[in-house]
């Protein structure tokens, strides 16, 4: 039992007096120390906080930006309608944990139309041409899957077959930059092959970011509070986060910062993160994916709600169009990969000029006259994100498991990069946050360890 000294008695009495007097003096009593400190109020941070609070434990979330959502935010001011500046597609809605919660909070999630249209010059691809394109995509997918079974982890580009013909550029854009934010030459074939299917999707009419923000209601989030240093040495049995407003301590911490932020050293760890985790963050650097929003009055393209359009491209200078978003006049032109990064580096004006020029080339110069309000994202320049999604470099697929390893049994890293199959998605980030929270709750003894998984009987080979 700890001895009671005169100093501790006086200090304790003073603290008790302040707490009792606080309501009378109109000042807030000191908040109790949280059980878990969470860095980042994106999908992973929100999911972790909800899981911890659901079991009756305390947490605090420190967010560097002035809003929640991370890379999933909805802007309603620019166009007067929901504009998802980050994540927009809700992948695998039937099993996505976020989708299941949407109905409970009264938001409208609906299925995205299946398929896409392809523009060849100023006309749409004929059925036979679409079949050629889809066949090329199937061959490319199969070749990457086959390469992923080898001992060495190749880049997806090296795995591609040689018979893609004049659909090669379009196939490479669809499978690489548009799907994962990276050119296939920079993307691990193993990481690609292990990613979960994302061919069934949904949209939230109010915006995906609005959905996340609603799910964050009631969570103790401190906005505009970047963590500059995190002491994970465990002195006093606590992790300490240092911010401009002071230090906050807790027995455990979950860090959901992007791998871009971790690799850039924007949060100083004491002692430093293990080399394994630092190397893992480096192998999972963020790709580039940005969105150009255009208000197109009068539906000049003649498209339906949420029509997805690609072009038969000759090179990497291409994009994807999502028209009439949720029955509005908003069109989204997405650019990604190396070309998207170079374009974003030139600034928002250059991005908007490209989008208008690209659409005019596909639909005619009269498109220019229909453009009203415009906007563009630049995630690579966002100081607390530094990119889009974490496609693994060739040889780096195993880094995801490393990133999930606890540090000193007190710190857990979470986020889209810490999911082996749903990386690059809000659903993956959400599941990662929940997993980290549950690992801590088990260490605290308030959650039972899961029963060991039974080995499934060997699957019979098909003849």
Statement to judge: residues 294 and 372 lie in one domain: yes
Domain membership flag for residue 206: no
Does 210 reside within a domain? no
Angle at the Cα of 168 from the Cα atoms of 162 and 170, rounded to 5 degrees = 160
Q: Is residue 56 part of a domain?
A: yes
Query: Mean pLDDT of all residues in the chain?
Result: 91
Residue pair 162/369 in contact (Cβ under 8 Å)? The answer is no
For residue 281, being part of any structural domain is answered with yes
278 lies in the same domain as 352: no
**pLDDT band, residue 451 (cuts 50/70/90):** low
259 and 298 within one domain: no
CATH number of the domain encompassing residue 274: 3.50.50.60
293 and 375 assigned to the same domain: yes
| pLDDT tens, position by position, 184-223 | 999 999 999 999 988 899 999 999 999 999 999 999 999 9
| DSSP secondary structure of 335-371 | EEHHHHHHHHHT-HHHHHHHHHHHHHHHH-TTHHHHE
Q: Note whether residue 294 is domain-resident.
A: yes
Residue 49 lies in a domain: yes
Give backbone dihedrals phi and psi of 331, rounded to 5 degrees, phi first.
Answer: -115, 140
Give every strand in the sheet of 221-222, ordered side by side: 221-222, 59-62, 36-39, 252-255, 411-413
User: Which range of residues forms the domain containing residue 251?
Assistant: 36-69+216-285+385-443
pLDDT of 30 reads 41
* CATH code of the domain in which 308 resides: 3.90.660.10
User: Is residue 390 assigned to a domain?
Assistant: yes
Tokens of 304: 């339906």
Tens-digit pLDDT profile for residues 396-411: 999 999 999 999 999 9
Q: Are residues 241 and 292 in the same domain?
A: no
Tell me what pLDDT residue 452 has.
Answer: 57
Q: For the segment 272-315, what is each residue's pLDDT rounded down to a tens digit?
A: 999 999 999 999 999 999 999 999 999 999 999 999 999 999 99
Cβ neighbour number for residue 398 with a 10 Å cutoff: 16
What does the angle CA 69 – CA 343 – CA 284 come to, to the nearest 5 degrees?
A: 50
Pairing outcome for strands 90-91 and 201-204: antiparallel
What pLDDT was estimated at residue 32? Answer: 77
Global pTM reads: 0.90
Question: What phi, psi does 397 have (nearest 5°)?
Answer: -60, -35
Judge if 366 and 414 occupy the same domain. Answer: no
Q: 118 and 132 in contact (C-beta within 8 Å)?
A: no
- Counting the structural domains of the chain, the total is 2
| Whether residue 131 is found in the same domain as residue 195 | yes
Residue 320 lies inside a defined structural domain of this protein: yes
Predicted pLDDT at 23: 38
Q: What's the mean pLDDT in 119-143?
A: 97
| Same domain as 306, residue 269 | no
Please tell me whether residues 267 and 324 are part of one structural domain: no
| Chosen domain end from 381, 409, 429 | 381
């Amino acid at each position: 039992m700890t001895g009671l000294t005169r100093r501790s008695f006086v200090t304790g009495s003073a603290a008790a007096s302040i707490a009792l007097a606080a309501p009378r003096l109109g000042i807030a009593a000191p908040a109790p120390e949280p059980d878990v400190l969470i860095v980042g109020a994106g999908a992973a941070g929100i999911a972790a906080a909800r899981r911890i609070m659901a079991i009756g434990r305390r947490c605090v979330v420190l967010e560097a930006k002035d809003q929640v959502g991370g890379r999933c935010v909805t802007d309603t001011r620019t166009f007067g309608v929901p504009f998802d500046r980050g994540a927009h597609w809700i992948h695998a809605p039937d099993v996505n944990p976020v989708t299941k919660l949407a109905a409970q909070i009264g938001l409208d999630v609906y299925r995205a139309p299946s398929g896409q249209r392809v523009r060849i010059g100023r006309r749409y691809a004929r059925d036979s041409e679409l079949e050629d394109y889809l066949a090329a995509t199937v061959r490319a997918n199969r070749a990457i899957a086959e390469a992923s079974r080898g001992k060495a982890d190749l880049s997806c580009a090296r795995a591609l077959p040689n018979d893609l013909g004049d659909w090669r550029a379009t196939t490479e854009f669809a499978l690489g930059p548009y799907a994962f934010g990276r050119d296939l030459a920079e993307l691990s074939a193993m990481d690609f092959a292990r990613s979960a299917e994302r061919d069934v999707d949904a949209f939230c009419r109010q915006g995906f970011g609005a959905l996340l923000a609603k799910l964050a209601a009631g969570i103790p989030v401190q906005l505009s509070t970047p963590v500059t240093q995190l002491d994970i040495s465990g002195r006093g049995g606590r992790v300490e986060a240092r911010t401009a407003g002071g230090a906050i301590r807790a027995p455990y911490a979950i860090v959901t910062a992007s791998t871009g932020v971790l690799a850039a050293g924007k949060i100083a760890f004491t002692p430093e993160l293990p080399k394994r985790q630092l190397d893992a963050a480096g192998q999972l650097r963020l790709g580039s994916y940005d969105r150009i929003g255009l208000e197109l009055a009068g539906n000049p393209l003649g498209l339906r709600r949420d029509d997805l359009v690609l072009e038969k491209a000759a090179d990497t200078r291409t994009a994807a169009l999502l028209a009439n978003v949720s029955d509005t006049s908003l069109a989204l032109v997405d650019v990604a990969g190396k070309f998207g990064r170079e374009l974003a580096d030139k600034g928002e004006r250059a991005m908007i000029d490209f989008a208008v020029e690209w659409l005019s080339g596909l639909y005619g110069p009269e498109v220019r006259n229909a453009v009203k309000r415009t906007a563009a994202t630049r995630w690579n320049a966002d100081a607390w994100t530094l990119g889009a999604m974490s496609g693994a470099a060739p040889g780096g697929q195993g880094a995801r498991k490393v990133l999930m390893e606890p540090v000193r049994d007190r710190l857990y890293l979470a986020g889209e990069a810490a999911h082996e199959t749903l990386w690059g998605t809000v659903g993956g980030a959400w599941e990662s946050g929940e997993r980290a929270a549950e690992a801590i709750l088990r260490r605290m003894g308030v959650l039972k360890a899961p029963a060991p998984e039974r080995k499934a009987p060997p699957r019979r080979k098909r003849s």
